[in-house]
Amino acid sequence: MNIIQLRREYTDKPLHKEDLHVNPLKQFEQWFNDAIETKILEPNAMSLATVDTQGCPSIRTVLLKLFDEKGFVFFSNYQSQKAKDIAQNRHVALHFAWLDLQRQLRIEGDIEKISTKESLTYFLSRPRGSQLGAWASNQSEIVSSRSLLESKFFELKQKFANGVVPLPDFWGGYRVKPRRFEFWQGGRDRLHDRFAYEKNLRGEWEISRLAP
């Protein structure tokens, strides 16, 4: 198979500045709903980029679980590699690839932990297996075998057999507070539409068209 021949012309509707909502969150909401309606696999999957103390970036997928004017929330292990990066550097980036819609969305901003109360509310809504999975995994640490992980899971299942599974103190939510958004819609002849939202000195969102 010749990779060079893998080529797709983007032909969906062009994106005009007048089509965009003045509030990027509302624009996000519209695109997110489109992604859900299109039945894209995991429409809430987003890439999270962090940077370590050496300035080296890394990236992984996480699931968006909440969004509002305060920001974009996902859940993770507070001792993972990403958590170590975040503890040292609050600047992060998010990326949604909604390729069935010929769209990508980039978000840059600062990240913070959400309150324990908010994390608990979400944790209690998770299936029991996912709650135990959070307890069982020292995320990002080396684990010698799958069976070790499974026996730890089984032990925890016994331990918490009666009653609710408590929220681990090493697990919870993060909120990304956006500083910049960029909405990208694929266009014909690689003349894609790109619109960036950034706040001006008056704290209002300004929209600029960028060259593709």
List residues near ligand FMN by CB under 6 A: 42, 45, 58, 60-63, 74-77, 80-82, 139-140
Residue 179 C-beta: closest distance to ligand FMN, Å: 22
Please check whether residue 142 is in contact with residue 155, taking contact to mean a CB–CB distance below 8 angstroms.
no
Name the residue among 79, 164, 152, 84 with its Cα closest to residue 121: 164
**In this complex, which beta carbon is closest to ligand FMN, that of residue 62 or of residue 101?**
62
Residue 72 C-beta: closest distance to ligand FMN, Å: 12
Residue 155 C-beta: closest distance to ligand FMN, Å: 22
**In this complex, which beta carbon is closest to ligand FMN, that of residue 22 or of residue 87?**
87
Separation between Cα atoms, residue 6 and residue 68, nearest integer Å: 38
Residue 4 C-beta: closest distance to ligand FMN, Å: 28
Asked about 103 being catalytic, the answer comes back as no
Q: Which of 8, 146, 190, 202 is catalytic?
A: 190
**In this complex, which beta carbon is closest to ligand FMN, that of residue 9 or of residue 141?**
141
CB crowding 17-36: b at 16 or more within 10 Å, else e: eeebeeebbebbeebbeebe
Separation between Cα atoms, residue 97 and residue 101, nearest integer Å: 9
**In this complex, which beta carbon is closest to ligand FMN, that of residue 102 or of residue 140?**
140
- Helix runs in the chain, H state only: 24-37, 81-88, 116-125, 128-136, 146-159
Active site residues: 190
